[in-house]
Amino acid sequence: MTNAIFLLFLTTDDLNVITVDWSRGTRGIRYDKSTANTRVVGATVGKMVEALTKNAGVSPSYVHLIGHSLGAQIMGYAGKELRHFGQVGRITGLDPAGLNFERYSNEVKLDPSDAAFVDVIHTDGASLWEMAFGIRIPNGHADFYPNGGRNQPGCKRNWWDNIWNMFNGKISVIASNVGCSHSRAIHFFIESINTSCKFTAFPCKSYLSFYTGACDKSCKNGCNRMGYHASKAATGIFYLKTNAAAPYCKN
């Protein structure tokens, strides 16, 4: 996924792209340890941006930080690290991790104060009992909830199927089923970079209202585009529907 985003960026705009490999900080089954490491990695990313500013003249306002799951929370910490130095231009959170973050203050999770513009794509925002991993609450200037922000079309989340697969040793199938909605945010963002389809998202008070057609879809109340071309001109909570497989955009 990282290479795909890397190549698409370079063919779309005149950019410098830096990827962060923190795999050593998230090895094993100790999720609490991985959670704790996000603060350290985020601070390191922040120091790197500060060094680029001091030594290469890079303005923090031109920096766009992107992360998925725990990586999204890392970018939040990076933004916090840079508050004393210069606010980052944009942070995109791709289904930020919810466990160990959602119930805590903004100081320990991605929030709108971490950058001039924070946009978040929520694709797996349900409880852990439902084998979901994303944050449910809005935590950006613009929060996008495709298909309601949970149980993405084309993804299976069935307890009985997973139990059957476990007894039959099909661990990879379980991992694919459980992580499908959580990783869908990445696919949405990648597709949004250079597609002619706009991923138009509509402001609405709830997904139920949007789903039943109770919300205005003329965009006179301020639509936004989910993904790379999201705009800070329209803030709030936005909903849209997508296809179950690529191409995901339906507009």
Residues 213-230: tens digit of each pLDDT:
999 888 988 999 999 999
Q: Does residue 48 lie within any of the structural domains? A: yes
Q: Does residue 250 lie within any of the structural domains? A: no
Asked if 43 and 224 touch (Cβ cutoff 8 Å), the reply is: no
Residues 87-124: tens digit of each pLDDT:
999 999 999 999 999 989 999 999 999 999 999 999 99
Q: Does residue 246 lie within any of the structural domains? A: no
Q: Which domain holds residue 21?
A: 2-240
Asked if 226 and 146 touch (Cβ cutoff 8 Å), the reply is: yes
Residues 41-64: tens digit of each pLDDT:
999 999 999 999 999 999 999 999
CATH code (residue 36): 3.40.50.1820
Q: Does residue 64 lie within any of the structural domains? A: yes
Mean pLDDT of the chain: 88
- Of 174, 219, 213, which is closest to residue 200 (Cα–Cα)? 219
pTM as predicted:
0.90
Start-end of H helices in the chain: 2-12, 31-56, 70-81, 159-167, 171-194, 207-211
Q: Does residue 248 lie within any of the structural domains? A: no
User: Of these residues, 34, 69, 181, 183, which one is catalytic?
Assistant: 69
Which one has a higher pLDDT value, 191 or 157?
191
Domain count, the chain: 1
Look up 13 and say whether it is catalytic: no
User: Of these residues, 95, 111, 119, 124, which one is catalytic?
Assistant: 95
Q: Order across the sheet with 224-225: list the strands.
A: 64-68, 88-94, 115-121, 142-146, 236-240, 200-203, 224-225
Structure tokens at 176: 């694919």
Look up 182 and say whether it is catalytic: yes
Q: Does residue 188 lie within any of the structural domains? A: yes
Look up 143 and say whether it is catalytic: no
| pLDDT reported for residue 170 | 38
User: Of these residues, 182, 183, 187, 192, which one is catalytic?
Assistant: 182
